[in-house]
Amino acid sequence: MDLYDLEVYKLAWEISKESWEIYEKLNWQDKKIMGDQYISAIDSIGANIAEGFGRYHYLDKNKFNYNARGSLFESLHWLDLFIERKKIDSDKGNKLKIKLKRLAVKINNYISSTRSQKSAT
């Protein structure tokens, strides 16, 4: 299987693209205060999934998958602040939150399936 075939990775990539559109529209001060941390956390989700995919041992893989999940929850935090502070449209923000929550489920399932490799080795 190729990394680009993983549904969890594809969804993380899609969310990164949507998040970049949000980030680009922020003014300089909002980028500095919240935006840089948000986009770093968002991009870290897919990056950690990719790095874990390239590891051999299931424990090593899941270390990165857990990091991806942590970055996802950080991203939700920043997204909630964007919505609360009216930096983005609440409808758009809430749709993105739904995608992030769906990704959280997929990451959890991916962690479980990777953990099951233990019995296969």
Contact 45, 72 (CB under 8 A): yes
pLDDT above 70 covers a percentage of the chain that reads: 98
Average pLDDT of span 110-120: 82
Which tokens hold the place of 35? 């935006």
Structural domain count, the chain = 1
CATH code of 18's domain? 1.20.1440.60
Q: What is the pLDDT of residues 4-62, one digit of tens each?
A: 999 999 999 999 999 999 999 999 999 999 999 999 999 999 999 999 999 999 999 99
Of the candidates 46, 38, 26, the one whose C-alpha atom is nearest the C-alpha of residue 89 is 26
Whether 120 has a pLDDT exceeding 80, the answer reads no
Which residue range is the domain that position 101 belongs to? 3-120
Sign of the alpha-carbon torsion through 83, 88, 93, 96: negative
Whether 99 has a pLDDT exceeding 80, the answer reads yes
